[in-house]
Structure 1
Amino acid sequence: MDRRACYAPLTDWLDAIGRVALILVIASAAWLLSGIIAFAFGAVRARYPIDVADNGVARRVRTQLGLLQRIASVVVVILALGAILLTFPGVQALGASVLASAGLVSVIAGLAAQSTLSNLFAGVQLAFSDALRVDDVVVVENEWGRIEEMTLSYVVVRIWDERRLVLPSTYFTTTPFTNWTRASSDITGTVYVDLDWTVPLDGLRERFEAFLATRDDWDGRGSSVAVTDATGGGVQVRFVVTAADSGSLWNLRCAVREDIVRWAQSVAPVALPRTRVDMVSD
């Protein structure tokens, strides 16, 4: 009886165990490398907090770091899968046949993944062109919100009422949108109020200026009161206010509107809108 035949099953088991062990080593190395990458990017990201007043640079850096981290993680996974596949003897022969038909495969893959690739390049373009950053205040699809997350294929916008609007990256490269914090977070807003023709404008201006002086969310950059329209039975008064960011501006606009209503009700009731009817007898 041939001794080599007796040891053949044992040799097969040893080869299988060795291959499994090698695969585990490769997977562990990829997991460790991914952890090191995540730790390194996290350490750099921690140096750029976004919970400060002037966070334009921090938001840009965080956006770019997030995309770079995802790209590095994808590269590590692809290299690990390639190393694992190379542990199998038949993969090399398969690779030769794949390379022989690479032209046809690339054409088919390009047509099938056209939308995915366009989103991928759009995501990279958004991150490194500085057109959009994490925590930017934007108006898209008639919705006001903040950029919560940017990936290689889509962007998540957190709407003011806690909804999430998920848009492909190509949306922001092909569709006009409003970015309130592109250059800085400072912002100017308006409040329109309809009042009667008899409204005392000098008293209204004094009230408005005195009210702004008591507000911490007014940054003092500017304010004005102007009659922008006078048609029908009343006049339209525009109040201009400024604030350090969009959230403060929203609160300030609501407070100004409420104070003018209270002023008209208690101090100057003649300013309340009314409809006049002239009764003429025969």
Structure 2
Amino acid sequence: MLDFFSDLPEYLRVWLQPLAVIAGSLLAGSLLKYAVFALLAAYNRREPVLLTKSVARHLSAPSAWFFPVLVLSFMLPLTYLEAHFLEVMRRFVETALLITFAWGLVKTVDVVQDLVEDHYRLGSADNLRVRKLFTQLQFIKKLVVTLIIFVAVALILMSFATVRKIGTGLLTSAGIASVIVGFAAQRSISNLLAGFQIAFTQPIRLDDVLVVEGEWGRVEEITFTYVVLRIWDERRLVLPLNYFIEKPFQSWTRTTSQLLGTVFLYTDYTAPIEAIRQELERYVNGHSLWDRRVCVLQVTDSKERTLELRCLVSATNSSNTFDLRCAVREHMVTYIQQHHPEALPKTRTLVEAKDQPFTLAPEE
């Protein structure tokens, strides 16, 4: 190959040899990438493993750029470019290598996430420990990705002498700048610190059921600065992290997902309480949503015209509890209508005989 270029005229050799080395390096890198991932695919077909599947899915795109640039960085001295052209080319290749390597590291974090998610299942009924872990891992992942990008950008900028000189000068005024930035971004910094506190003290976790601002929903996402709550009707409520540090809210899955549900019935004073209680127990015993923990009917209040009956039932989670409450309410109202209509709320009016403007007919 070198003899071929030596036989060419000088003006052609100056351009053709570097182009041939660059093209050959990029082609060799592409073939190397293809060979590596072909071996992974063959191994995965023979013995499917989540690790190889995840690596092939997430690292294929970064590797398609990283391997050619890596080979080119080794072959660059063979281009025999002039010193200033070689320096420009070297800086370009180093920058591309840093970018593709950082891209690969970010995708490696996704591979680790796949392995963790496969080991710990979030979809199980009682997933308290898993949700704790996932909340921490999500925050750590975002932090690691941010650090990778920050370090990569810093390394790229610091590879230039001009930027290094500017950076040295900026370090001397870092104290003043930090004070200014601290005052300007105190809300953002407080949100970031709140994110650390939420990730490790965990007043909320992923998939927690919360009642916030009068809305019922599940925690869908926790970022550096805000929390996304998926409301029951598919709306999204976005709240700053500081909200969950500074304000009260209801958590229905803090220690367990089990809940008690209440159904209130209002009846006349003549209602047969024991018969209604037995019907509640009979109906709930045969319902698939009841977790067989609590089934109680109590008279919780007596008003001027009605009795307040509270049906207390239990279920494994908030969704089942809501559905069970609706089913119990519908059934008990129907039962009272059909079997004890006299127990429905009524208004009584007593009229004294002496105040009547008419005469009652005598009984025969």
What range is the shorter-chain TM-score in? over 0.9
Which range moved further: 253-262 or 265-274?
265-274
Is it true that 1:231 corresponds to 2:303 in the alignment? yes
Q: Tell me, in whole angstroms, the C-alpha distance in 1 between the residues paired with 2:218 and 2:316.
A: 16
1:209 maps onto 2:281 in alignment:
yes
Query: Does residue 109 of structure 1 match 2:186?
Result: no
Distance 2:187 2:202 in 1: 23
2:120 paired residue number? 48
**Do the aligned partners of 1:190 and 1:253 also contact (CA within 8 Å) in 2?**
yes
Bigger Rg over Cα: 2
- Quick check: which one's strand share is greater? 1
Find 1:161's aligned residue among 228, 233, 255.
Answer: 233
Matched residue SS, 2:206: coil
1:72 is aligned with what amino acid?
Answer: V
Q: CA deviation at 1:12?
A: 4.1
Counterpart mapping for 1:91-106 below 5 A: 91-106=163-178
- 1:45 shift after superposition: 2.2
Q: Which amino acid aligns with 1:249?
A: T
Gaps of 5+ in 2: 1-80, 356-364
Partner of residue 221 from structure 1, selected from 293, 299, 303: 293
**Letter paired with 1:276:** R
5 Å-filtered alignment, 1:264-275, equals 264-275=336-347
Higher helix share: 2
**C-alpha root-mean-square deviation of aligned residues, in Å?**
1.4
- What is the SS of the residue equivalent to 1:218? coil
1:84 to 156, 165, 171: 156
- Normalising by structure 1, we get a TM-score of 0.94
- Does structure 1 residue 121 correspond to structure 2 residue 201? no
Distance between the aligned counterparts of 1:234 and 1:41, measured in 2?
58
Tell me which residue corresponds to 1:151. Answer: 223
Q: CA deviation at 1:174?
A: 0.7
The one-letter code sitting in structure 1 at the alignment partner of 2:225 is S
Question: 1:92 and 1:130 mapped to 2: Cα distance?
Answer: 41
* Aligned partner of residue 132 in structure 1, secondary structure: coil
Deviation at 1:130, TM superposition (A): 2.6
Q: Which of the pair has the greater relative contact order for Cα pairs under 8 Å at 6+ separation?
A: 1
CA distance in 1, matches of 2:318, 2:151: 44
Deviation string for 1:68-101 (max 9, x for gaps)?
Answer: 1100000000000001101211011101110111
